[in-house]
A and B are shown apart, each in its own frame.
Chain A
Amino acid sequence: MATPIHAPRINNNDDEVKVLAFEVEKGSHVRSGQIVGQIETDKAVLDIESPVDGYVLSLVAQPDDLVKVGSVIAWLGEQADEPVPDDSEMAPVATSRDLGSITAKARLLLKKHGLSADAVATINGRITVEAVERHLAADTSRLAASNRDAPGADTRETPPEIPGVMLSPSREERGMAATVAWHRDHPATGYIEIEYDLAPWAKYAKKMQDDKGWMMSPLLSLMTWRLVEVATTSPRLNSTMINDQRYQYAPVNLGFTIQAGETLFLAVLRDAASLDEEAFVSALGDLQRRAAGHKLRETETSGATVSFSSMERWKVSRHIPILPPQTSFIVAHAAGRDGKGVLGATYDHRVLNGAQVVAALKLLSRPASD
């Protein structure tokens, strides 16, 4: 029968000890009382002695591991080829909480919209925010319906003859393909850029950061908020062409490109104009945090009406973004140099002309209060 060597308690107040080294290896024969290794707490180092004669079956812990007092650090056996016992059954079982059938946030949403939970279809057995939003979107399906059915993607291709495997795209990859296809098939895109002074924005963002004691500069969020303001006062930016007619959006749904690992999201903050500047910065921060954790809800990845894309992080000096589906204006923000930056926009020439784009870019190039 196998014998465990446990991590001993050295100090009454230390629940963890560090494994320093083993002087034996798997398969070694050890005698009772022989020193097999050392462990330490913050100050003391202690030799570990073998409790029995036998063979080392397994060194469970590794040097430099912090292990819980009482946990098994090695197994010894009478024979060198004995099986190593599974001690997982000795570990306390983590009890998990019973999750309610409705998430707390979904419950808040149901209450806000006066909905009954019975009316909402569950997702994986629970009513989540996404489930509620799907329900709401089905009621007022305008945006959701028009965005989900990306046009122009029906030209079928045959697979190449070079060996390879077919991989299913992720939800994000499918979205990207639909966006690009719409950009290719529908708008008449143009691109315009202007040069601008970086200082006024930098100063404005620094002041706000200092005033609020924030750790991160809110510069990009503030410039994006400016876009919301400009799109409100110049509604043409916040519209699109549908079947030769201009469709004027009521809310400003702000799209914001976020790179999370390998994935590029166009995260969407709906009805952004209903917020004020500080609330917008906060909300955009939440959106970015959730995007970084791949926790965006479906309603937060679709339905943009005007967008902002920055590649400043990568020190890109210029880029020409793709227009998100059924929008006519996306700002391109890039890294500046020597106090000057470039602010550009991809736009749908069916909706906007060059002068309108330049006017909008000029408004965006300085803080509103400047």
Chain B
Amino acid sequence: MDTTLCPFDRDPTGKPIVGSDPRSLFAFGHLVRETEKLILDLFGRGLVSGTTHTCLGQEICQMAVVRALDDPRDHVLSNHRNHGHFLTYSGDFTGLVAEIMGRESGVCGGWGGSQHIAYRNFHSNGVQAGMTAIGVGIARALKAEGSRGIVATIIGDGTLGEGLLYESMNLASIWQAPVLFVVENNGIAQTTYTRHTIGGGIEDRGRAFGLAVWRLNDQHPEFAGQSADIVGQMRAHGGPGMLVIDTGRLGPHSKGDDLRPEAERDALVARDPLRKLAERITAADIAAIETANKAFLREVESRAMASPLSTFQAVPQHSFRAAIDVSADVAAMNPTKEVVANARQALNAALHGLFERDDAVVLLGEDLHDPYGGAFKVTAGLSEAFPGRVISTPISEAGITGAGIGLAMADRKPIVEIMFADFLTLCMDQIYNHAVKFPGIFPKSNVPLVIRAPCGGRRGYGPTHSQSPENIFVAVPGLTVVYGSHRHPLGQLLANAVERWPNPTLFLEHKLLYGEKLDPGGYESLVAGAEDMGADLFPTVRSGSRQPDVTLISFGGMLPVVEGAARKLEEEEELLVEIVAPSLLAPLPRQSLLALLDSRPLILVVEESHHQFGVSAEILAMLAENGFSGKVARLGTPPAPIASARSLESAQIPDEDAIISAVLRML
């Protein structure tokens, strides 16, 4: 980033210092507008591809709250229409123009383009309302650390149709988190007028959640001061608020999609707050500002043009970060040496150990508190032992996942429990578009989030409480999926995920394994391949013959069933059977698995999930791509809803007989 090129004084964090007088506001607002015009001009000249959303007409609106933020711990979470926020926060004009041009000197090196920018405590992303729960998480962390910092989460009125916004407002309210939801109300969402999209009043929405609510108009002569005053009130009361700013968008939503009548556009030009500011300063001042800004932007353009196009040295094949070299030995964390008999107790003991030794660990989820202790009792005893760090939340899966991301970005180590893995689809946007994107795009963004979820069937819970959704989540780039079993050191896996693995991680736990005795049996860990990230923290184990007639690959809650089938195959069919059980499904420990499986004559992958396009498909594709010459097959739940009746369910999910039949068919 070019830190020198900014025509304004900057505070120690690099933020431009913009006065609240008309001349200063006009000078900065004019520069923002001219910068966006330059960007549109670059588009016109074919120097930029992709898309952009300008804030033409909304410059003063976008500057207002961000300008008033003066604490180094303040955060700004923005959206697709972010240029005014970003420039007011960073003063990095060249960085923005170069970023949009896809140049090396872009503020994010060309990864983010116009919509996705991370810079200090500024984050923007391209999904409506996607940042709102993250802002609540960051605000909760700020409050817990005793900071006076607040979070400004800025959305447009079009975002008011998104449900996550209301989960976020509710969480902010019950946690009294210092987050200001700023609604920039330009009256139109892309091409649809707000009057067609909003039922009831905008401010009523904030009031319903108990937020402090303000409404301002960016044409007001004292608008900048009013905004600063609200920021001051936010700091003083330390809770959440909502500020609605009425504004007007002069340009199209993106490019070429402004279908509004000319009269309406003329009216917008007439209300233009920048023009109103110009009326309050001298013509000489305006001319001087215009000349200076023009010269400045010529320099910005030439510097951006001089920067080479962004290129990869090698195209990244993944976005995982290496394990952290710290000790996370669960045995050492649990000096009382309470007897750990089953998987549930192992996880519970590991959680107690993690809370004991690391203040950064927090737990969020539904009904976690004692005496209930969570739906499957994995969190029993934690809320009483560690008050304030075990947070029973509203039923808001997406919201608490977002809050977890925010806490992780604020240096906490959040563990989010989703009561049934089936509900993880509610969290999908937060995982898919946020948790994995930030570390993938921004080198300084860390999201060490662990999401725990009980999964699996064979309890008769029916179509939406019985699924094993790992097949969906292994396909999320950058998401780690750990699915251990009673043959793995489960507590250690969890501790490794929380303390040593700095990547967003889904930690699946089969419901039927909770009561299963934790016992390595005759299993041994495979040597982790040097190329297999995380394979040493989340090992693959194997047991049985080293010269098997058949190798069964399985994981998680399927493993006890596979073991039963293997016993029968050995006793009744005299076959030598090997079982291979990875605990890390993504990133798949390819090198470790290939080294073992390469010479096997016959491999059957058994999984509980709907197996088409799933984990088994990936494992078998890997074998095929590497010249495997033996026979392969896979067995899973067919792609139909899982029935409630036990007699139906047991016919759907593979059981011992199904596994034996599958093996015999292969011979």
Could you tell me which A residues sit within 8 Å of B by CB distance? 11-16, 41-44, 97, 99-100, 103-108, 128-129, 211-215, 278-279, 281-283, 285-286, 289, 295
Contacts and interface: CB of A to CB of B under 8 A. Distances in A.
Interface in B5-25: none
B524 interface: yes
Nearest to B373: A43
Contact of B547 (A14, A41, A279): A279
B216 interface: no
Contacts of A14: 515
B576 A15 contact: no
Contacts of B514: 13
Given A104-B664, A214-B524, A43 B377 contact: yes
* Shortest beta-carbon contacts, A-B, top 9: A282-B546, A213-B527, A105-B574, A104-B573, A215-B524, A103-B574, A42-B377, A103-B573, A282-B547
A211 B528 CA distance: 11
A42 B576 CA distance: 39
A108 B549 contact: yes
Contacts of B371: 43-44
Contacts, number: 77
A104 B663 contact: yes
B667 A108 contact: yes
A13 B547 contact: no
Contact of B527 (A103, A212, A279, A295): A212
B375 A13 contact: yes
Task: For chain B, give the interface size range.
Answer: 20 to 34
Contact of A97 (B545, B546, B657): B657
A362 to B, nearest CB: 30
A278 B526 CA distance: 16
Residue of A15, A104, A283 most packed against chain B (CB within 10 A): A104
Contacts of A212: 527
Contacts of B546: 278-279, 281-283, 285-286
B459 interface: yes
Contact of A104 (B511, B525, B526, B667): B667
B515 A15 contact: yes
B380 interface: yes
A44 B660 CA distance: 40
Interface of chain B, main secondary structure: loop
A76 B375 CA distance: 34
Given A42-B380, A128-B574, A105 B549 contact: yes
Contacts of B549: 104-105, 108
Interface string B566-598: 001110111110000000000000000000000
Contact of B572 (A44, A103, A281): A103
B67 interface: no
Contacts of B344: 42
13 contacts: A13-B377, A42-B373, A42-B380, A43-B373, A43-B380, A97-B572, A105-B574, A105-B575, A213-B524, A285-B546, A286-B546, A286-B547, A286-B576
B386 interface: no
B631 to A, nearest CB: 12
Nearest to B667: A104
A65 to B, nearest CB: 14
Nearest to A278: B546
A97 B660 contact: yes
Nearest to A109: B574
A81 B540 CA distance: 57
Nearest to A211: B527
B9 to A, nearest CB: 61
B551 to A, nearest CB: 13
Contacts of A129: 574
A104 B545 contact: no
Interface string B538-559: 0000000111010000000000
A212 B574 CA distance: 27
A178 to B, nearest CB: 26
A304 B291 CA distance: 101
A283 B511 CA distance: 37
Contacts of A97: 568, 572, 657, 660
Contact of A16 (B459, B515, B527, B663): B515
Given A13-B459, A104-B667, A108-B549, 11 more contacts: A11-B377, A13-B514, A43-B371, A43-B380, A97-B568, A97-B572, A103-B572, A104-B575, A278-B546, A285-B546, A286-B546
Interface string B301-319: 0000000000000000000
A105 B345 CA distance: 40
B193 interface: no
Contacts of B568: 97
Contacts of A285: 545-546
A332 B545 CA distance: 27
A75 to B, nearest CB: 26
Contacts of B525: 213
A286 B545 contact: yes
A295 B569 CA distance: 13
B662 to A, nearest CB: 12
Contacts of B373: 42-43
Contacts of A41: 377
A106 B573 CA distance: 8
A43 B373 CA distance: 9
Contacts of A11: 377
B545 A282 contact: yes
A103 B576 CA distance: 12
Contacts of A13: 375-377, 459, 511, 514
